[in-house]
A and B are shown apart, each in its own frame.
Chain A
Amino acid sequence: MSAEIGTGRPVGPDLQTEDPVRMDPHVTAAEALAVFQRKLPDALAEVQAVHHPFWWAALDVRTRGLFRRSASGPVQRMDVLVNALSGRGMIADFTPRGATAGSSEWSSLIGEQSGPPPTRDEAERTARSLARAKVVKTVKLGMGIDITPAGGLRGVLKPNWIVSGGNARHEATILVDGLDGSHYIVRADKAGRS
């Protein structure tokens, strides 16, 4: 039921990471299948575990008053994940935890990308600007915001499920998020057409 998809090209040293974190899914295979069967009642389907590479930036955010030079107040820790293939970022409401994966697995997933993936610098910039955008919404106009990285970028392999199957009328493949159970329809056809 579990397999890795991705046999990519070798990647440059800038995109290598040591000891990427392989997260365990919070959503079980049975739950992923239930999501699929809610879309296609009575469907038979197979579930396959996959992982997607993300850059993980842990950032410490402090705010300071308009007339103060140094930051004050408690430090807010933000975990930002940046998609290592598309460059899109998201603020995680969890700290990534899991077993250490081999760097070869990371490289193979990164190598899947046909175009150039975002560089480390770009990923870092994305993470910082996302964190800033989030904090700006909650502070008074004119307050300063200090963002300092709490360590370098680290690789994270985020779990997802690929569910493929069908019922008498339709066949489909969907991607189920391994952390929150939301889904994306990759393909849907009438039975026998694909």
Chain B
Amino acid sequence: MNIETWFLVIYFLAMAGIGVWTLKIGSKGSEGYLLGGRSLGAAVTALRLQSSSMSGYMFLGAGSLAYTKGYFSLWYAMGDIGGGVLNLSILGRRMRKLSQILGSLTSIEYLEHRYPSKWIRAIAAPVALFCIFFYVMSQFIAGGRGLEMVTGIPYAWALLIAVGVIVFYTFLGGYLAVAYTDFVQAIIMLIGMVWILIGCLQAVGGWTAGNETVGQINPNLLTMWGPDGIESVQWGVIVGAVLVFSIGYMGWPHVNVSHMAMKRPSVARRASLYATGFNLLFIPAPYIVGIMALILLPTLDNPELAVFEVADTVLPNFAVGIVMAGIMAAIMSTADALLLQSGTIASQDLFQRFFKKDMSDQQSVWVSRFTVLVLAIIGYFVAVNDPPAVAEVVIFSTTVLGAAFVPVYIAAAWWKKANVPGAIWSMIAGTVSSVVWQLTGLVDVTGVDPMGVGIVCSTLALILVSLATQRSHPVPAHVLEAMKETDKIGAIPAHMLTGQNDSLAGQVPKDV
């Protein structure tokens, strides 16, 4: 076994260990399993949010984009850097407070409580489950491929190991395990990436010298307009890269659930500082490494391997092992969050809501665990027999998620006139328009991103339908009262909490 493999083994064991540890400290019942008992502080919230939203794309896709398009790729980095902070600033505090007042445990249940109609969940849950399942499958494939690349073991076995480790700790500790492993994984990702960046800049003689050499290859690579210069810029793509990618995060249920698990609403403020720090250190690094790879590896066959090949070239063997652990961390932190979320949606939002309403807390946790296992098994067999292209699956599923859910999540927290018909039509319009735009090839014809089209359609549907149906479908008084309370800074008054106060158990008169 080579030294890279040893690092991966240690890493896998550490992640599994966290799963076992959280099983011991984790609180019982649905709120404990699904939201970690709403106990997470700023650092864990921020890094969990960032690592689960970034996936293996940062190590594979970002390097590839920079290798082929130069500093043009930083438009995407800008979207990435802003995404987490925007999400925490716009949704964080309000979603935490509103979800607790309304007594919501999952991000889909939160939508149903804010827009009280069973149709909200009946539409949102299948859309989210479908997209998240494909997204998690793509992460399985990426994890299997990564492990195969490092260890040399056959893909089928590598995939089985990657899926096994992810399922193991998700299955055991629920949200708390996922949150803590994501936190550790974010740190490993950061260390791995910054290490490659430093080694890479040393190898090219510093950033200035590196830029001069890249300029000799093609001076346009040093500009933000792409390798063909400003004349060939697609402004629709640039606007899409900066705005759509940055706000797209706000529609991802597996990312938004972080807000609901915060210890207090005020944690959001400090978490956005941590998220900004993490993003500024981490996100530009793979892009810069990708650009400098043009000097170090001018004849690279597969640009997606730019970051890994640079690491292999400039770092000692043991460091390559840590970097590989970082890549696996990026993949696994996204996969576990997705897997837990899909299990949650299937058990809480579909099974319990529509089939077995009187399910106990413990039964619900077990159904969640069983669903995680079943989804992982199906995901494994699809991924091992006929694996689709990772990037295509990721882009498709995240596009639909963003288009369907961004306006309803934002309006849920901010717009008191957003009502049930508006939310239903917004989700339908976002899903249908983005899927149709993608499948009919309108992207190539118009040069406009399907997520942009989807978000415009879903936003317009939300605003127009909500305003048109204010009289027939007014927002319920208790939701308006909860939103008014959410406007205020400070603790939630006890009488507004939907959850019960267990300390009152000792005050129940004997005769009752």
Contacts and interface: CB of A to CB of B under 8 A. Distances in A.
Interface string B484-512: 00000000011111101111111111111
A112 B505 CA distance: 15
Interface string A109-124: 0001110000000000
Interface string A67-91: 0000000000000000101101010
Contacts of B504: 160, 175, 177, 182-184
A139 interface: no
A62 interface: no
A160 B495 CA distance: 13
B495 A31 contact: yes
B512 A182 contact: no
Interface size class of A (residues with CB under 8 A): 20 to 34
A118 B504 CA distance: 18
Nearest to A8: B510
B478 interface: yes
Given A184-B501, A185-B500, A85 B511 contact: no
Given A5-B509, A6-B509, A158-B507, A184 B500 contact: yes
B501 A5 contact: no
A162 interface: yes
Interface string B292-320: 00000000000000000000000000000
A112 B510 contact: yes
B491 to A, nearest CB: 11
A86 B506 contact: yes
Contacts of A162: 509, 512
Contacts of B498: 38-39
A31 B494 CA distance: 12
Given A83-B506, A88-B506, A160-B507, A177 B501 contact: yes
Contacts of B503: 88, 90
B501 A182 contact: yes
Interface in A138-194: 158, 160, 162, 173-175, 177, 180-187
B495 to A, nearest CB: 3
A137 to B, nearest CB: 15
Interface of A: 5-6, 27, 31, 35, 38-39, 50, 52, 83, 85-86, 88, 90, 112-114, 158, 160, 162, 173-175, 177, 180-187
